[in-house]
Amino acid sequence: MLEETYRLSKENNRMLHAMRRNAFLGGIVKFIFYILILVVAPLWLYSTYFAPLMQEATRTLNQIQGTGTKTESQLSNFEQMLSQVQSKLPAALNGSQQ
């Protein structure tokens, strides 16, 4: 009976050690899994969905700024033309009155 108790206690001890080892390894696997979820998933989401949207938004913004620059240039040219016309207009009126 003493030998049977000894054998059972050894078997129980082996099972407890195996359970602890499995629990420890399971904890490590869970930790790695959650790290992957928290690190890799946002990077994948960004590269899949947000990066193309950001590129398109940047391209649109650059087009809008380019259009604004063209408009400013055209307005500047119009102002120069208007000032040239105004400078010639009084001279023409003054010459016709004399």
Predicted confidence band of residue 16 (pLDDT cuts 50, 70, 90) = very high
Instruction: Name the pTM for this structure.
Output: 0.48
Give residue-wise pLDDT tens across range 67-81: 888 888 888 888 888
Q: Which residues of 41-66 are buried (b: 16+ CB within 10 A; e: fewer)?
A: eeeeeeeeeeeeeeeeeeeeeeeeee
Domain spans in the chain, listed from the N-terminal domain onward? 1-98
How far apart are the C-alpha atoms of 17 and 13, rounded to whole Å? 6
Q: Check residue 82 and give its pLDDT.
A: 86
Q: What is the pLDDT of residues 26-58, one digit of tens each?
A: 999 999 999 999 999 999 988 898 999 999 999
